[in-house]
Amino acid sequence: MSSVRKGRLFRASKARPLDALLLGGIVLVAVVSAFPLIWMVLSSFKTPAESMQVPPVWIPESVNFQAYGEVASVINAGRSFWNSAVIATTTTLGILITSLMAGYAFAKYRFRGRDLLFAAVIATMFLPPIVTLIPLYRLVGSIGLNASLAGVIVPNLANAFGVFLMRQFIAGVPDDLIDAARVDGASELRIVFTVVAPAVVPAIAALALFAFVYHWNTYLWPLTVLQGQVDSYPIVLSLSRLLSYNRGAMNTGLVMAGATMAVLPPLVMFLLLQRFFVDSIVSSGVKG
Amino acid sequence: MTMATVELKDVTKAYGDVGVIRGIDLSIADGEFVVFVGPSGCGKSTLLRMIAGLEEISTGDILIDGTRCNDDAPRERGIAMVFQSYALYPHKTAYGNMAFGLKLSGMGKSEIDVRIHEAARILKMEELLDRRPYQLSGGQRQRVAIGRAIVRHPKVFLFDEPLSNLDAALRVSMRREIAKLHTQLGSTMIYVTHDQVEAMTLADRIVVLNGGVVQQIGTPIELYERPRNLFVAGFIGSPKMNFIEGEITAVETDHVRFSSPDTGEVTVPMLATGATQVGSRATLGFRPEHLALGGGEFGISATVRLIERLGDQSFLELETASGQLIVARVDAAHPANLGSQLTLGCDSVRLRLFDDEGLAV
């Protein structure tokens, strides 16, 4: 017993410098990662003069909301946020639905050519988006969806990564649970959404987060499809208009205010889902 | 409570060229408790899943309550199933788990409530209805799983090794509860297990399976007293029946003479009408609990190699002169020691003989 205790003490004393080193590393990474975000928020409160000052002013003398007001006069911020919300939310919902259904089929059904088909779906992940940009643009045009939000949304409603993620998680759902639902009289669709989905909540939360942030921030595809339809621009495209406006006015604060506003929804989404994500892991790990 | 018959007519199941269920015929009466028993991989769970509609059948017919239901979905068959892993929906409360199937069938809230509380009263689990599966013990979870089956008022209850995940003490008490439940509900029940004690204690009739083939169907006592072949003789009974190899020396109208170096010549009653020939190889079978020290039809001299003391009784593993191992059940007070030489015998009526193909003689 005493030797065990000694061993533990020995290991603990060895671990302390290592822990400190690790902690130091984590703090460093956190500071480096957070710096642009903090700089962006601070700069959004600076006056135009403070923004251009050399050496740079780190903390503005007073909190100045002027840039935020100016954003609204340059772009239709409300409309842009609405467009972004429609694009990101609809696409995320679509990805969740199609990924759950395809992931369920790949994980739980036995059919001829299943593995080959799954490999083909995975293979699409290796195509750089730029390669598919023009063919996809022509395809969207051929069904009359160019210059519309639907054109931005529809091609992204299914996603190979989502299918892959869901298939991996759903494979871990016990077959008995699905059989029990079949005996209870549930249809396959009901099984997917009321039995399987609650069992893979962490995966759904993670996929929702990835999809929402990616499609909130996506730039090239909406720019290509919307063809200058400013009313349909999501906030990320509208930010580029702030940048071009800024070239005349030399006001970094304006762009930073717009960027701060644009970052808020994905940030809130992250905070909400992170809590949900952790809750799911805790409740599934308590017992059984 | 609705009751029903179940009939299997030459039912088979194959995965590609591999046959896992080979031509099973079985008739289960209204309200009967039938247990499928056999070693792992014998096809008993597959057969149950075929009756449930969770596994397609390759050929043959399944009739529930006289209606052919080969192509019916599980929900259309009027069955309810209890799984080994409980298979409770983890995000629903016990009440939610039990209500799920009823809601899907379009039943009204008040009727659902009545049924769930009735089942909870039968299973003595009223206080568990608001809990989620992770807040329940193994036994409580299995109770909820059984409750989920009861509320549906099924024609047939199917149990797939429902007690395998429970500890020994809980298994015994849940086994008794299932027996009481059958008496109380009087429903047709089909129960799969690899545990022959469960099979013996619960069943009206037992179906012994091996390699996808029915070895014998009968009441527990029939299987114990008159096993049809070596497999059933070895599978039913714990510890298993002892076997001694030898040959048939004489065949009379109602008995057979058998001889081996360990037993000498013994007379065995003939129970089956098998084609038995003098000079053919045969296996003599006798159970550990039927061996007596000293007397009996024959006397086997053997050396004690292992002693398992259970408190009220002991099992002795002994090696015969020809090197075969046999087991004897003796009183706990028996003063046997490792290496002791004992002479054991068995009454003639307790002896069973199997021909060179393993069939009972």
Q: Where is pLDDT greater, at B274 or B189?
A: B189
Rounded to whole angstroms, how far apart are CA atoms B263 and B259? 7
- Asked if A195's CB is within 8 angstroms of B104's CB, the reply is no
Q: Are A237 and A141 in the same domain? A: yes
Does position B38 have pLDDT exceeding 70, yes or no? yes
Interchain contact A112–B (C-beta under 8 A): no
Residues A21 and A114 in one domain: no
Are B162 and B84 a contacting pair, CB within 8 Å? yes
Query: Same domain, yes or no, for A21 and A153?
Result: no
| Same domain flag for A179 and A93 | yes
Is residue B3 very low, low, confident or very high in pLDDT (cuts 50, 70, 90)?
A: low
Phi-psi region of B229 (alpha: psi -120 to 50; beta: other; left: phi over 0): beta
Query: What are the pLDDT digits (tens) for A46-96?
Result: 888 888 888 888 888 888 888 888 888 888 889 999 999 999 999 999 999
Q: Cβ contact (<8 Å) for A185 and B104? A: yes
The whole-number pLDDT of residue A287 equals 33
Residue A221 pLDDT greater than 90, yes or no: yes
Q: Does B84 touch chain A (CB under 8 A)?
A: yes
Task: Give the confidence band of B298 by pLDDT, cuts at 50, 70, 90.
Answer: confident
Here the tokens at position A86 are 């429609």
A36, A142: one domain? no
Q: What is d(CA A223, CA A129) in angstroms, rounded to the nearest whole number? A: 14
In contact, B282 and B357? CB cutoff 8 Å: no
B300-309 β-sheet, strand order: B292-293, B341-345, B300-309, B313-320, B325-331
Tell me which chain A residues have a C-beta less than 8 angstroms from the C-beta of B85.
174, 176
- A175-184 and B94-104 are packed helices; what angle lies between their axes, rounded to 10 degrees? 50
* A50 located within any domain: no
Q: Is residue A69 part of a domain?
A: no
In a domain, A105, yes or no: yes
> Residue A151 in contact with residue A140, Cβ under 8 Å?
yes
Chain B residue with minimum CA distance to A191: B89
Supply B14's token pair: 């194959």
- Split at pLDDT 50, 70, 90, the class of A3 is very low
State the average pLDDT over residues B278-293: 93
Q: Taking CB atoms and an 8 Å limit, are B81 and A177 in contact across chains?
A: no
Q: Is the model's pLDDT at B299 over the cut of 60?
A: yes
Residues A165 and A275 in one domain: yes
- Whether A7 and A92 map to the same domain: the answer is no
Whether B100 sits inside 8 A of A184 (CB atoms) is: yes
Residue A263 exposed, middle or buried by CB count within 10 Å (0-12, 13-18, 19+):
middle
Q: Is residue A55 part of a domain?
A: no
Count the domains in chain A: 2
Instruction: Give residue-wise pLDDT tens across range A89-127.
Output: 999 999 999 999 999 999 999 999 999 999 999 999 999
CB of B160 within 8 A of CB of B81? Answer: yes
Beta-strand relationship, B313-320 and B188-193: unpaired
pLDDT at B186 over 80: yes
Query: Which pLDDT band holds residue A2 (cuts at 50, 70, 90)?
Result: very low
Overall average pLDDT of the B102-119 stretch: 96
Q: What is the distance between the alpha carbons of residues A236 and A75, in angstroms, rounded to a whole number?
A: 11
In-domain check, residue A51: no
CA distance B116 to B148: 8
* Rg value, chain B, Cα: 24
From residue A77, give the alpha-carbon distance in Å to each of A46, A92, A237, A243, A245.
20, 22, 11, 14, 14
Mark whether A142 and A185 lie in a shared domain: yes
Whether the Cβ atoms of residue A240 and residue A165 lie closer than 8 Å to each other: no
pLDDT at residue A9, as a whole number: 46
Count CB atoms within 10 A of the CB of residue A274.
Answer: 13
SS3 content of chain A, % helix, strand, coil (to 5): 80, 0, 20
ipTM above 0.90?
Answer: no
Order the strands of the B281-286 sheet from edge to edge.
Answer: B264-269, B255-260, B242-251, B281-286, B352-354
pLDDT band, residue A247 (cuts 50/70/90): low
CA of B135, closest CA in chain A: separation in Å? 8
Among chain B residues, CA nearest to A177? B87
- A32-39 average pLDDT score: 93
Q: Which among B299, B298, B305, B351 has a CA at the least distance from the CA of B327?
A: B305
Assign residue A5 a region: left if phi > 0, alpha if psi is -120 to 50, beta otherwise?
Answer: alpha
Question: Residue B319 is inside which H or E element, if any?
Answer: strand B313-320
Does the distance separating the beta carbons of B52 and A181 come in below 8 Å? no
Give the sign of the dihedral formed by CA B267, CA B268, CA B273, CA B276: negative
Better-predicted residue by pLDDT, B8 or A4: B8
Same domain, A170 and A131: yes
Per-residue pLDDT at A152: 97
Q: Between B114 and A12, whose confidence is greater? A: B114
A195 vs B81, B89, B141: nearest CB: B89
Give CA–CA dist B72/B51, Å, rounded: 10
A2-8 average pLDDT score: 45
B226-239 as b/e, with b when 16 or more CB fall inside 10 Å?
A: ebbbbbbbbbbbee
Q: What mean pLDDT is predicted for residues B25-41? A: 96
Q: Output the domain CATH number for residue A215.
A: 1.10.3720.10
Quick check: is A60 in a domain? no
User: What is the rounded distance in angstroms from the CA atom of residue A181 to the CA atom of residue B83?
Assistant: 12
Are A273 and A223 in the same domain? yes
Identify whether A68 is part of a domain.
Answer: no
Polymer length of chain B: 361
Asked if A182 lies within 8 A of B90 by C-beta distance, the reply is no
On whether any CB of chain A is under 8 Å from the CB of B80, the answer is: yes
Q: B189 - beta bridge partners?
A: B33, B157
If asked whether residues A37 and A169 sit together in one domain, one would say no
- Residue B145 CA to residue B133 CA, distance in Å, equals 10
CB A100 within 8 A of CB A192: yes
Q: For A149-161, how does the pLDDT look when each residue is reduced to its tens digit (9 = 90+)?
A: 999 999 999 999 9
The answer on pLDDT for A12 being more than 70 is: no
Q: Secondary structure of chain B: what % helix, strand, coil (to 5)?
A: 25, 35, 35
B87 lies within 8 A of chain A by CB: yes
Greatest distance between any 2 Cα atoms in chain B: 74
Q: Which of A149-158, B224-233, B272-281, B305-314 has the lowest mean pLDDT?
A: B272-281
The verdict on a CB contact (< 8 Å) between A174 and B89 is: no
- Average confidence (pLDDT) over B226-248: 94
How far from B263 is each of A201, B185, B254, B308, CA to CA, in Å?
A: 67, 50, 20, 24
Q: pLDDT category, A285, cuts 50, 70, 90?
A: very low
Confirm if B211 and B43 have CB atoms less than 8 A apart. Answer: yes
- Say whether both A258 and A144 belong to one domain: yes
Q: Check CB contact of A275 with chain B, cutoff 8 Å.
A: no
Q: Indicate yes or no: CB of A179 within 8 angstroms of CB of B54.
A: yes
Q: What is the pLDDT of residues A130-141, one digit of tens each?
A: 999 999 999 999
B82-to-A176, A199, B23, B87, B144 alpha-carbon distances in Å: 10, 20, 25, 8, 10
Element (H, E) at B354: strand B352-354
Q: What is the domain range of residue A23?
A: 3-44
Rounded mean pLDDT, A250-277: 84
A65 belongs to a structural domain: no
Contact check, Cβ <8 Å, A179/B81: yes
